[in-house]
Amino acid sequence: MPQVPAPLRRLLPLSQTLAPSPLLHLSRRLFTSSFPSFGRAASLRALAYRAQPGRRHHHPRRGSSTLRKAPKEEMAGGGDKEVAFNRKRAEGRDGGKRGSMELKARKLNPVNTTCYVQILGTGMDTQDTSPSILLFFDKQRFIFNAGEGLQRFCTEHKIKLSKIDHIFLTRVCSETAGGLPGLVLTLAGIGDEGMSVNIWGPSDLDFLAGAMRSFIPNRAMLHTHSFGSERNASSSSQPKDSVIILDDEVVRISAMFVKPKYHNGDGSLNDIDLKPGDTAIVYACELPEIKGKFDPAKAAALGLKPGPKYRELQLGNSVQSDQFDEMVHPSDVLGPSIPGPTVLLVDCPTQYHMPELFSLQPLSCFYEDYSNQRESGKNVNCIIHLGPSSVTKSVDYQNWMKRFGETQHIMAGHEIKNMEIPILKGSARISSRLNFVCPQLFPSSGFWSVKPANDVMENDKSTSLEACGIASAQNLLKFHLRPYAQLGLDSASIPSLFTYKDIVEELVSEIPEVREVPEQVLKFWQNNANLKNIPPAGSRMLMVEEPWIGQKSDKLDDGSPKHPKDNQEIPCCVEDAMREDMEITFLGTGSSQPSKYRNVSSIYINLFARGGILLDCGEGTLGQLKRRFGVNDADEAVKNLRCIWISHIHADHHTGLARVLALRSKLLKGMPHKPLLVIGPRPLERFLNAYSTLEDLDMQFLDCRNTLKPSVEAFLSENVTGSATPQLENTMFAPGSRMENYNRKPASPRDTTALANFKEVLQESGLEILYSVPVVHCPQAFGVVLRATEKVNSAGKVIPGWKVVYSGDTRPCPALIDASRDATVLIHEATFEDSMKDEAIARNHSTTKEAIEVGTSAGAYRIILTHFSQRYPKIPVIDEVDMEKTCIAFDLMSVNLADLPVLPKVLPHLKVLFKDEMVVEEADEIQEAAVY
């Protein structure tokens, strides 16, 4: 069974999962193929179907780890296997010193090559990133812009990122480069030695590279190349001519600089207020001229014999005649050449960039009216416009476009019509199916919203983009450049359109019995509403349809007594809950790297009128917010964020942070507001401070170590002027304490301003307390506890506030169990299935059974499992465990506080959607992007 090499594991401590073996029990189906009604026989067996002897496609149960077992001396836990963990990983000593990966040279194919540009529609539906463009050759691939969601998009459409040689940025900001850190890490994990790629951008790229180095291993920090003026250089030093970046026998790529000019008080323009991230780039991609057709008759007349010399002449090289004492030149045997195709990629992000764009001298040779030296003029075959429609639809911009004559224009900026087409079709499909079965937990998402985005204006009605030579970009639209006979647009790869109605009809035709499920699920909510008027008695059960709910036992399967809280009544905070109290929305439930069906970690705590809180913010968090709430409502949610809490520095938990912060700063510009509080491990502050040179993040940082329970309780009971960091003898950082976090040095008490803001955040959010809990995963890894303030119900009774606990990434640990005592909801990571405990220990993660046991031991009312390995693309494997209080999280699932009583009862009914699904689907795609 193939393994990820040990040297790579040591070098990439950020990875969360391994490449799955091709033999990962492909035949194991999640549920029985003959889905009976939810009766006793079906529900007593494990939720995950195991292949039995004699069945088709049987494979042996995986019993050995795909990771080597950690040596005994690396383990800790006093012999308690349930809390064993990898000590070196927790200390951050599982890395190694290696040089940067070398670039792999590819042999180019300058003759008879296939070439096209293609729209990669990332962000077109959610308006949160700039679309990427793929320039494809047989032996070379280029990507322009790498916004968040690029990996998910490429996985969905089987575009192999491992083939990419160069990445070019039209601007250096979160909109165009938000997906770059994750892409770098994914490429570094491909194959035995990892893949490397060249990254190109203006001098601002140096700021981004510096910020990324704060959390990306040096070995994965690939090859970045900046061009143009140096830092702090004046605009006059900016190159006026184009800068040639790449020039080989296949393509010549040059860059032209476009800087914004802002209005002075007197109406004139200036660029004094420029800051990093403002510079936009226009790229020109010029293919070599197409040689004329080779004439064998002429070659024979000049004394040449068929063979290698024919090819040399076609390549433009002169050769010696075989029969005569003379040289034969290409012009002697080739017909007239055809100018090579040219593509321009134009990024004009704001109206302030237009004056400079229109006056660019290097572009003048491409204009139709370039008549002074027409013989040296160049034809542009295709221009891809990346600017927003609010810019490209303006009269000035449209008039500028006309200067290129008969050029094909592709408008790839955000338009209203883009929002009607979900980019991630697989994710939209599964979310819509879940919505059909259980709309209470999976509300109608923003997939189908057609409301205009904030930056989309429908002015200039007289200016039509349907004119000749102008096409609106569509997902995977191509423009062929070679072969020359195919020059032009190609719509063959554009995915077919679909609607919510189409998805439901497909579902019903595939699984007829699903028609009855929505009605069955609805009864849970009807009974829940009725039970709130029934005195707490033995009839408290909602519906006796699953035997493990109707037939309670006071013992576990192994004969041991159950935790006394297992039979607990509905907590008062839930029984008296209003729907506007609190709701948990899972924006990402996968680990490692974004995949087709699950985005990486992010949880939105919706406090409604009191704002919202993000717990972790992996790549694509903003896009997921917009898919769940719609483009405009998601912007409102971002504006009303109270704080963002980050569990640890691994990339799948924080690389979406800069995009969210940058958007919030933009949305609130000119409005009175406070910087957004970001609570996280200290290394995160280094990244944010370095990145803030590119974009205004408008945030205030607070170290998680300043939000430990003793610190927060002492702070809330005293004035800010006192010591903000009390003595920590009783914490995990104290000398001689049980190892929970290896960075024991207490945080500095200098963050008094942030702490004052923190106190205001608690008050505005209606929280009594929010505190971090050190957990076992990597240095400075934390979980978090949120407890709402108590309230008085209509009868005058004081109701304790709800309590939500989020584990972050961790092995089961006593600190988290203690923090989860009597939690209303425990959200716990469950990266691995129960048979993969060795992997869980080696990577300092938890199995599903371990996660449930943590919640059971703590007496949590409800346990929600998340952070599943991407080897389980749609639903994880669940063994025979007590599911009475447990639920599995899906992307875009929303759990309201008032719905907690019915939560575990819905999962068995959802299994009808996955009864025929494989545990590992599209394993080759998951293997390609295995490390993050």
Domain positions in the chain are 115-228+240-264+272-290+338-366+377-414+473-491, 296-332, 572-717+747-930
Q: Note the pLDDT of residue 537.
A: 32
How far apart are the C-alpha atoms of 419 and 422, rounded to whole Å? Answer: 7
Among 185, 4, 96, residue whose Cα is nearest residue 654: 185
User: Is the N-terminal amide bond of 774 cis, ω within 30° of 0?
Assistant: no
Fold of domain 115-228+240-264+272-290+338-366+377-414+473-491: Metallo-beta-lactamase; Chain A (3.60.15)
Domains 115-228+240-264+272-290+338-366+377-414+473-491 and 572-717+747-930 share a fold: yes
- Helices 517-531, 425-437: inter-axial angle, 10-degree rounding: 60
Question: Which positions ≥6 away from 737 have C-beta within 8 Å?
Answer: 731
Question: Is the CB of residue 920 less than 8 Å from the CB of residue 873?
Answer: yes
691 phi and psi angles, rounded to 5 deg: -70, -25
Among 824, 190, 322, 366, residue whose Cα is nearest residue 569: 824
Q: Note the pLDDT of residue 468.
A: 62
Give the angle subtended at the CA of 97 by the CAs of 94 and 102, to the nearest 5°: 120
Q: Note the pLDDT of residue 336.
A: 84
User: Is the N-terminal amide bond of 355 cis, ω within 30° of 0?
Assistant: no
Element (H, E) at 281: strand 280-286
Say what the pTM is. Answer: 0.84
Among 767, 758, 716, residue whose Cα is nearest residue 610: 767
Weakly modelled stretches of the chain, pLDDT under 70: 1-82, 95-102, 104, 111-112, 218-222, 229-240, 263-273, 370-377, 446-468, 531-568, 719-751, 879-882, 916-932
How far apart are the C-alpha atoms of 286 and 305, rounded to whole Å? Answer: 34
Complete edge-to-edge strand list for the sheet that includes strand 862-866 = 767-774, 782-788, 803-806, 825-829, 862-866, 886-888
Instruction: State the CB neighbour count (10 A cutoff) for residue 230.
Output: 9
Question: Is the CB of residue 316 less than 8 Å from the CB of residue 359?
Answer: no
Q: Please report, as a single letter, which amino acid is at residue 523.
A: K
Instruction: State the CB neighbour count (10 A cutoff) for residue 188.
Output: 28
Question: Is the CB of residue 607 less than 8 Å from the CB of residue 646?
Answer: no
Question: Is the CB of residue 195 less than 8 Å from the CB of residue 170?
Answer: no
Q: Which long-range contacts (CB under 8 A, 24 or more apart) does 2-6 make?
A: 3/66, 3/67, 3/68, 4/66, 4/67, 4/189, 4/930, 4/931, 5/192, 6/68
SS3 state at 890: coil
Question: Is the CB of residue 678 less than 8 Å from the CB of residue 650?
Answer: no
**End-to-end distance of the chain based on CA atoms, in angstroms?**
22
Look up the CATH superfamily of 572-717+747-930: Ribonuclease Z/Hydroxyacylglutathione hydrolase-like (3.60.15.10)
Instruction: State the CB neighbour count (10 A cutoff) for residue 395.
Output: 11
Q: Note the pLDDT of residue 58.
A: 35
Q: Note the pLDDT of residue 694.
A: 93
Q: Please report, as a single letter, which amino acid is at residue 398.
A: Q
Question: Is the CB of residue 423 less than 8 Å from the CB of residue 610?
Answer: no
Q: Note the pLDDT of residue 292.
A: 81
How far apart are the C-alpha atoms of 916 and 39, rounded to whole Å? Answer: 19
How far apart are the C-alpha atoms of 690 and 687, rounded to whole Å? Answer: 5
